[in-house]
Structure 1
Amino acid sequence: MVDTLTPEQRRMCMQRIRSKNTKPELIVRSICHRLGYRFRAVRKDLPGTPDIVFSRLRLCIFVHGCFWHRHDRCKYAYIPKSRCDFWNEKFSKNIERDVRAMRDLQALGWKVEVVWECELRDIPVLVLRLKNILHPI
């Protein structure tokens, strides 16, 4: 399958993909803030650079995109039809990096949670999940 964009157009598209302050991250941060919790965003001094960090609770939350981080059984975690070898290698490295970051954080005594991008499609359920994560019964 041939790319329909020129290399310059493809480069411009890929440059627009953010690594921090993405829309899903901002939504999750907003929900946590409305629930009354204060946090730090994107702590570079912790393994894996967690998206949201609750220092007092020793809790890190990663907000993962289903496509980039390969959410199991999610329709958004599809494999592109072209350059399959490249994408499979890219995805496996992403997964390895995620597992390593979570393991390192847990070894330092942090609790780690992942909020998937597709979970943002049902905000009331996500709010309940975040309440349970932040204030377990």
Structure 2
Amino acid sequence: MDLGEGRRARASVELKVLAKTRRIRAYLRWSDKGSTRRPVYLGEVENETRRENLAEAWRRAIERGLVLPDEETPDTSWAASRSVRASMRGNRSRDTSPEKLLRKQLYERGARYRVSHRPLPGLRRTADVAFPGVRVAVFVDGCFWHGCVDHCRWPGTNEEFWRNKIEGNRARDAETNRALKESGWTPVRVWEHEDPADAADKIISLVRAKRHLATPAVDASQHAVP
């Protein structure tokens, strides 16, 4: 953190569990001249694991520009700071909380699907949820990493790097959608901020519609009673 006058301090994330509600609050802490300063409240986190909660807390600190680049970061590292690297390590590529919540809603509605499925063998793109029979591929996109217009906030430090990174992700998403459509698949994008129940309803409706279109029509005249 920047303490002013050219001074910096290393920060850490602390998670506190409220005794009555069991809600988890995240704080950014640091020391100045040996004294612990008042922590910065990062908000409540509600993931299933401590690792996921820590990753989310670091991400919020990065988005708010509270974390500064680490001068000791190796040139070979693309992460701007140790906190960023911690966030990257804690940020899962699969089985995130939004993904699991969506899968739960789909399963409760009777849907059966594949998890982390690669629709096109020759294309390195993995759908979070897939229905191969009707060729529907679902991707659960994080608001920060995929540039949600409502919730993505550019970090205050190393802004050019992060903007290029996120814009690159968005371009990759568009290319993935195009490739899937050209191969007969229907891509579905679900933002992490969306209600999983609403998203599941839309996906189920789409799967049923495609399944209905794929079912050959029966000529009633062939079964008419003479």
State whether TM-score is above 0.5: yes
Report the residue type matching 1:105 in the other structure: L
2:147 is matched with 70
Q: Secondary structure of 1:71's partner? A: coil
**Is 1:134 the counterpart of 2:221 in the alignment?**
no
- What CA deviation, in whole Å up to 9, does each residue of 1:57-115 have, x standing for no partner? 2100000011110123x1x2111111110011001110111111111111110011111
Structure 1 residues 37 and 65, CA gap change in structure 2 (3 angstroms)? same
1:29 is matched with 103
Shift of residue 8 of structure 1? 4.2
Structure 1 residues 22 and 89, CA gap change in structure 2 (3 angstroms)? same
Report the residue type matching 1:21 in the other structure: D
Structure 1 residues 43 and 125, CA gap change in structure 2 (3 angstroms)? closer
1:17 to 68, 91, 115: 91
Shift of residue 128 of structure 1? 3.1
1:60 is matched with 137
Report the residue type matching 2:177 in the other structure: M
Structure richer in strand, relative to its length: 2
TM-score between the two structures when normalised by the length of structure 1: 0.84
State how far apart, in whole Å, the 2-side matches of 1:82 and 1:108 are.
Answer: 40
Determine if contact 2:139/2:189 at 8 Å carries over to the other structure. Answer: yes
2:158 is matched with 83
**Is 1:50 the counterpart of 2:127 in the alignment?**
yes
**Is 1:41 the counterpart of 2:118 in the alignment?**
no
TM-score between the two structures when normalised by the length of structure 2: 0.53
Report the residue type matching 2:207 in the other structure: L
1:102 to 174, 177, 195: 177
State how far apart, in whole Å, the 1-side matches of 2:127 and 2:157 are.
Answer: 31
State how far apart, in whole Å, the 1-side matches of 2:142 and 2:111 are.
Answer: 23
How much is the aligned-residue C-alpha RMSD, in angstroms?
A: 2.3
* Aligned sequence identity (%): 29
The count of corresponding residues between Structure 1 and Structure 2 is 133
Shift of residue 38 of structure 1? 0.8
Shift of residue 45 of structure 1? 5.4
Determine if contact 2:119/2:127 at 8 Å carries over to the other structure. Answer: no
2:43 is matched with none
State how far apart, in whole Å, the 2-side matches of 1:99 and 1:16 are.
Answer: 26
Structure richer in helix, relative to its length: 1
Larger relative contact order, structure 1 or 2 (CA cutoff 8 Å, min sep 6) = 1
| 5+ residue gaps, structure 1 | none
State how far apart, in whole Å, the 2-side matches of 1:126 and 1:45 are.
Answer: 20
State how far apart, in whole Å, the 1-side matches of 2:197 and 2:107 are.
Answer: 15
